[in-house]
């Protein structure tokens, strides 16, 4: 059974008190860092220098999601910064296989993200080059959006391909994850869940992480027959 991982997104955190906000999610599996360039997506967040500072003070590993253009040029720098995982968008890469190999060579796990309308089938042959496939369950760019159920069939197709290949690739979902939607996403085959509002909008983020982890794990156990 794939491990259920909860990666809170700091997009919903208080950026004025970011170091304290990171400590509030110290029970998470990783912190999801959304890097947006106001070009690939219509929003602007943080760049590499701020990510490096987050890396220096975070109690958990960093899982960077690069919503930026020209990923082939910029993504390797995030791997050089020592991040545990770097995810680029397939739509922003000219040579995704080359980029994934470069990220791994620089010590980071390689992730590739797909927008909701981007089909997974053209990328199934490169699963062995990835550590994680991120299937966006909202349009990238802003937090607080509602989960798109139309992405569930794509998650199922990806899980079937991964299980059929025997390759240990994680499936991450990002957008609209709550205690309710995590169950549907896990049932479809996802096992890494990005949650922003559901964690940082809670009075006790650690308790919210625990509830999400239990809900996702229960569904993954049920799916595996345990």
Which of the residues are catalytic? Answer: 34, 174
**Phi, psi values for residue 130, rounded to 5°:** -115, 155
Q: Characterize 107-125 residue by residue with b for buried, 16 or more Cβ atoms within 10 angstroms of its Cβ, and e for exposed.
A: ebbbbbbbbeeeebeebbe
- Burial of residue 166 (CB within 10 Å: 0-12, 13-18, 19+) is exposed
- Burial of residue 42 (CB within 10 Å: 0-12, 13-18, 19+) is exposed
Residue pair 2/220 in contact (Cβ under 8 Å)? The answer is yes
Measured torsion, CA atoms of residues 198, 201, 205, 207, in degrees rounded to the nearest 10: -60
**Count of H-run helices and E-run strands, the chain:** 8, 8
């Amino acid at each position: 059974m794939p491990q259920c991982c909860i990666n809170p997104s700091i997009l919903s955190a208080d950026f004025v008190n970011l170091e304290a906000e990171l400590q509030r999610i110290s029970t998470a599996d990783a912190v999801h860092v959304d890097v947006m360039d106001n070009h690939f997506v219509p929003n602007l967040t943080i760049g590499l220098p701020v990510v490096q500072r987050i890396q220096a003070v975070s109690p958990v590993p960093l899982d960077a999601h690069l919503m930026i253009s020209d990923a082939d040029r910029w993504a390797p720098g995030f791997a050089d910064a020592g991040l545990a995982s770097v995810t680029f968008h397939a739509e922003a890469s000219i040579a995704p296989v080359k980029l994934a190999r470069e990220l791994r060579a620089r010590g980071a796990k390689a992730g590739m993200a797909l927008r909701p309308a981007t089909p997974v089938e053209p990328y199934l042959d490169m699963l062995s080059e990835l550590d994680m496939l991120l299937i966006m369950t909202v349009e990238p760019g802003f937090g607080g959006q509602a989960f798109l159920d139309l992405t569930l069939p794509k998650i199922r197709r990806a899980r079937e391909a991964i299980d059929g290949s025997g390759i240990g690739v994680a499936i991450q979902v990002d957008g609209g994850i709550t205690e309710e939607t995590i169950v549907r996403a896990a049932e479809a085959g996802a096992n890494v869940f990005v949650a922003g509002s559901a964690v940082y909008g809670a009075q006790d983020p650690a308790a919210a992480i625990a509830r999400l982890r239990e809900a996702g794990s229960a569904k993954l156990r049920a799916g595996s027959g345990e």
